[in-house]
Structure 1
Amino acid sequence: MASPSQRVIAEEEAQFQLLQWRYGIVGHSEALRRAMRLLLQVAPTELTVLITGETGTGKELFARALHGLSPRRRFAFVSLNCAAIPETLLESELFGHVRGAFTGATTDRQGFFEVAHRGTLFLDEIGDMPLSTQAKVLRVLETGEFSPLGSSEVRRVDVRIVAATNRDLEAAVRQGAFRQDLYYRLNTVRIHLPSLRERPEDIPLLVEYFASRVCERLGIEFEGIAPEALNMLQQQPWHGNVRELRNFVETLVTLERGAYITPEIVQQYLSQLQPASVERPLEYEPVPTERAIVMLGRERSGGGALASFDTTLLYRVLLDMRSELSELRRALQAFLPLLYGLQESVEQLRQEGVGQRGEESVIPIRGEADFRLEDMERRLIIAALKHFGGNRRQAARALGISERTLYRKLAQYGLGDIL
């Protein structure tokens, strides 16, 4: 018969397994487990939680787990990246607006606080929130009251706030960039997430987890990875943390499908990594053109297998080849139907009149129709937003662009009120 201490350990292990299975929080290092224990303790409460840690450490995963393990789980979890939204739009996103509140406000619109009523509002990168907005958020935290833009009506909401930041908020308070009273309200419970450099022993588990997920999604096989190759990954600094490792593994497994991953293969991909501190000139992560075309050819020769290929990867390939029209024509012939999710045939698109002749970005496809990259970009954004129920953070991630870029594209294409 198990002793009380053994039962406690077994129960804790079961809870950790639940966090991995349901929320993707993977690892057995003590640094991560400290954060997981605190998560499990505060999730059932109404306490405001501040999650700190470097970019890519999994702050949103923890926020979702806090919501999913709380009594509020039957209601909405709403996520907002404060750094991704222009200052002029942030208050409208948070508090909503009434018709006529500003130019372009043609209808009333609920803000995220109202959408999250009785649920959880996750304010990511809250350290980037303007001081003027901080004061209004503090009012909601203290009284549960706010007024939409353009209205004097006072509305009440019942929302649990989970905030996250990769900044030193205490330093920001000293510098006058963050309100001290708001900081104290948010910092009721702090969960600090360790960087991947602080838990390299978790990297083999993470590699296996991400590889199995991408294989399941694409219907491909993963033959495994050599211990020496895993050791190489454990030696990497991973300044982008788990997010960077996930992107690396997904690219590696996708492009090397069916191969046993050796140190030589890993070194080839590691050599293509750029330091996270270096600002990349492209909005989209580049994919090596020659490798992408090879993969497109493999998928095309495999018949129906093309339908399962990662559309995000293909979209990035498309944009990276934008200036090479001859390459772009060949690639589009291979995967244009997939790009539209196989929901609309080329003939249907032609009948809708997508694209106009005479423009530099128009590319003929099999002589059937003309397509503009701008049209495809707009359609992809609409499809992504509909797929994720209007969640702009998830849509941006699926499209491989930043949320700031997504908001700019929404304004560019007049899609602000699409959902």
Structure 2
Amino acid sequence: MKAEVIDNTTQHFLQVRYGIIGNSQVISEVIQKLLSVAPTDLSVLITGETGTGKEVFAQAIHGLSNRKKYAFVSVNCGAIPETLLESELFGHEKGAFTGAVEQRKGFFEVANHGSIFLDEIGEIPISTQVKLLRVLESGEFSRLGSSDIHKVDVRIITATNRDLEYEVRNQQFRHDLFFRLNSVHLRLPALRKHPEDIPLLIEFFSDKVARKLGIECKGVSFEAELLLKSFPWQGNIRELRNFIETVVTLERGALITPDLIKRHLRIQVDDFSSSIRKEESIIILPKPNDQHSQSTSQDESLLLRTLLELHTDVADIKRALAAIFDKITHIEVNQLQTNEMHNESTQQVEHSTISDNMTQELDFRLEEMERKLIIAALKRFDGNRRLAAKVLGISERTLYRKIVDYHLMELF
């Protein structure tokens, strides 16, 4: 479906008021849906990768609705311990639990007549999902420690970067709640899906920082713009914004060039200058005659960076390598030495034997690299699995399984 053209006045308003920027087709389609659903009272589920702007769109939905004069309450469900989440959402009475020294209103009461934005909705436990469903259906709830019924009129906007349909199938998320939340589904595209909007985003972020610092920003060179458009941006718009803010601030508005990009981005320009994709990523394997210690260090560094920057699992890398192995018919080994003799003739080694051996060795090496990466993430966050899973780009359940598989339970 081709999106209708968004007029310049609307584009400018959304940019200035909410920071919604872009005129690509995918963004125009999302904006059209936003403009259609905002004036209604329908529940909206916003999905997309981390950093795609889910809260920005939630604020716009509220700001363009008839509830804009009332409160917009934003709640990060993943940041609140499960034991406190129900109390935070629905409030509690004095003495409801240890430490409840006074009555307290919950977020739903605070948001009455307005909108509540529940980010990371996939993180809430089943017990809280039941009470949330009741609010959606009747607007009724009870504070923790009380049987009194309270009623609110609140529009619910939710967001997640998880696959809730998968969670429903695995009985981790209530089927009835999912369909009540999913009255309208707003899918935000990853930045790599609309790179044509990157120049507009760069201009917006750099001008904003320059005005704040009282400096002049000289913009981006043509070559640098091409590089930035080819970068995978795993953190999406948030990562691009942070990069631009850092460069403009530290370089005092200097022209952004490939050299500056190389200096400030975490990986080298050469690593992404040709449109990196997971399935197209090249992993350099050690050559037979390389010195073992040197090649091991280089390979570990490369594999670790690949896993970290692309959030790629072992299976993804093996599939990419399988495609490479399929193109190999044989490998010529010019010098095969044994303890007894030196054979000078060129020998042919069958592809299947070599590729199997390489795959087995790679399996071990990749798993070891993944193990090291998991340990590093857990150490960084003092064993906090939720934060470690988030930075690794995997679910907590996947992280737990890998902790068990790699025998890390005693360490963390």
- Scaled by the length of structure 1, the TM-score of the pair is 0.63
Superposition deviation, residue 89 in structure 1: 1.0
Q: 1:74 is matched with which residue?
A: 69
CA contact (8 A) 1:119 1:158 kept: yes
1:98 and 1:267 mapped to 2: Cα distance? 55
Q: 1:143 is matched with which residue?
A: 138
Change over 3 Å in CA distance of 1:230–1:178 after alignment to 2: same
Q: 1:200 is matched with which residue?
A: 195
**Counterpart secondary structure, 1:31:** helix
Residues 219-238 of structure 1: matches in 2 within 5 Å?
Answer: 219-238=214-233
Would you say 1:86 and 2:81 are equivalent positions? yes
Q: 2:149 is matched with which residue?
A: 154
Would you say 1:244 and 2:239 are equivalent positions? yes
Would you say 1:61 and 2:56 are equivalent positions? yes
Superposition deviation, residue 151 in structure 1: 1.1
Q: From 7, 16, 37, give the equivalent of 2:11.
A: 16
Q: 1:213 is matched with which residue?
A: 208
Q: From 26, 40, 45, give the equivalent of 1:31.
A: 26
Q: 1:405 is matched with which residue?
A: none
CA contact (8 A) 1:95 1:114 kept: yes
Runs of 4+ residues deviating >6 angstroms: none
Q: 2:160 is matched with which residue?
A: 165
Question: Residue by residue, what CA displacement relative to the aligned partner does 1:268-291 show, whole Å, maximum 9, x if unpaired?
Answer: 1124596274775656xxxxxxxx
2:18 and 2:380 mapped to 1: Cα distance? 31
2:63 and 2:71 mapped to 1: Cα distance? 10
Deviates more, 1:135-144 or 1:14-23: 14-23
CA contact (8 A) 1:57 1:242 kept: yes
Deviates more, 1:226-235 or 1:274-283: 274-283
Would you say 1:275 and 2:309 are equivalent positions? yes
1:139 and 1:217 mapped to 2: Cα distance? 45
Superposition deviation, residue 215 in structure 1: 1.5
Would you say 1:130 and 2:164 are equivalent positions? no
2:215 and 2:88 mapped to 1: Cα distance? 40
2:206 and 2:12 mapped to 1: Cα distance? 18
Superposition deviation, residue 129 in structure 1: 1.0
Query: Structure 1: where are the runs of 5+ without partners?
Result: 1-7, 284-419
CA contact (8 A) 1:120 1:160 kept: yes
Question: Residue by residue, what CA displacement relative to the aligned partner does 1:327-384 show, whole Å, maximum 9, x if unpaired?
Answer: xxxxxxxxxxxxxxxxxxxxxxxxxxxxxxxxxxxxxxxxxxxxxxxxxxxxxxxxxx
CA contact (8 A) 1:16 1:36 kept: no
Q: From 88, 100, 108, give the equivalent of 2:103.
A: 108
**Counterpart secondary structure, 1:106:** coil
Q: 1:255 is matched with which residue?
A: 250
Would you say 1:182 and 2:216 are equivalent positions? no
Letter in 2 for 1:18: F
Question: Residue by residue, what CA displacement relative to the aligned partner does 1:223-246 show, whole Å, maximum 9, x if unpaired?
Answer: 221111111111110111101111
CA contact (8 A) 2:74 2:118 kept: yes
1:129 and 1:253 mapped to 2: Cα distance? 39
Question: Residue by residue, what CA displacement relative to the aligned partner does 1:301-346 show, whole Å, maximum 9, x if unpaired?
Answer: xxxxxxxxxxxxxxxxxxxxxxxxxxxxxxxxxxxxxxxxxxxxxx
Percent same amino acid at aligned positions?
58
Letter in 2 for 1:168: D
Residues 288-327 of structure 1: matches in 2 within 5 Å?
Answer: none
Q: From 42, 48, 51, give the equivalent of 2:46.
A: 51
CA contact (8 A) 2:210 2:253 kept: no
1:179 and 1:160 mapped to 2: Cα distance? 20
